[in-house]
Every structure is written in C-alpha cells, then in structure tokens.
Amino acid sequence: MEVKEDYLKKLIKPRSDLFIEMEQYAKNHHVPIMQLSGMESLIHLLSLQKPRSILELGTAIGYSSMRIASKLENTSIVTIERDKEKVEVANKFIERANLQKRIQVIEGDALEVSDDLFQNMHFDAIFIDAAKGQYKKFFEKYAPLLNDGGVIYCDNLLLNGLSELPMTEVPRRKRTMVRNQHQFTEWLLNHPDYDTAFLPVGDGMLISIKR
C-alpha cells in the first residue's frame, strides 16, 4: 500500500515555493487543507469546466482557492471562512501571490451569513469544504446561487477512512458526523436536479452537475 502511495506522490506536479510554504504552514499549525491528489483532480476538473466564478465554503489559509486561481487565470473566487485568525493568514498569503483582485475572503459562518450578501451573485461552480456533517445544509443554502449547467464539488466524503468503517468501529463522538456524510452522499446521488458522481480521489469527492 505504501509503495503505491509513494508512486502516486511522485506523479504530483511540482508546486511553487509559496505553495510549498503554505503546505508546511498547514502541517505545522494542524490546518487541514486539501490532499494533493484531490487538489490536482479538482484543479483539472475545473480546467475542463472553465468556470468564471467560484464560491468556496471553507477557506482555511487560502491554499485551495489560491491553487485554483493560479491555474484558472480568468476566474474569480469568493470564499467564506468563520475563523478570524485563518482569514488573516489567508489574506496575507493571497496578497503575497498578488491574487487579492480575484479572491475575496468573507469572514463569517457560511450557515449564518446573510443571504443579502449574495444578492445578484451567481456562480458557475461551488466548492464545499467546510464543517463535515453539515454538507446538506451548505448545499441547500448555496445551491440556488449556481448557474444552470454549473457544478458543485464536495470534498471529504471519505472522512479520512472513517466513512468506510462499520459504524461500530467509528469512535462514538464521530458517529453523527459520519452518518450525516453518508446520508448526504445518498441524498445527492439520488437528487433529481443534479447528475452526481462519487470520485474516490483525495479524501473522496462528489461532483454534481446541475441539470
């Protein structure tokens, strides 16, 4: 198993010094950012889709939004983060990469920010990468902002392996979160308004195309 992972790691493209610094920062400060294979897959899918506008839920230190903006040069991103400290760190990294004109960080709880903030705003893609176990709520609140033909990407459906365990082997305090993610996955795979596929890349991603 390790041999396979080492081999896959070698296939990941090299990143800029700033991105390596961010990956190291995330590691040192225990900030969960997207796994490299998931990040590569998402960037590649977005390169095919070519969205002009993306809404991201869960900025953390700005890593995923900056990696996306670096690759998709005509795309602007609005990203929401509830942790004030992370917002400050993200804004500093975004400025260092000179991406502040294309990435707007909104500080606040994505489930609580006023809908008025998004009046007249629509997005070609929405990327959900915030509190696990709340994805259905995020989806229901933000899906109305998606343009026809747009795509919603959801990360972390495998929950670092927890999703695949029998419930009896999941630590008790994590069972509600795991059940919620399972229910969300089933619900979305059967949603009549979206054509959804589950990709077992990174930590597991749901890709939903609005019909």
- Please report, as ranges, the residues that interact with ligand SAM according to CB under 6 A: 32-34, 58, 60, 63-64, 80-83, 86, 109-111, 129-131
Q: What is residue 81's DSSP assignment? A: E
Closer residue to ligand SAM in complex, CB, 66/168: 66
- Cα–Cα distance between 130 and 65 in angstroms, integer? 13
Residues 6+ apart with CB under 8 A from 61: 22, 25, 26, 31, 33, 86, 89, 90, 93
H or E segment and range at residue 48:
helix 36-49
Q: Rounded CA gap, 29 and 103, in Å?
A: 23
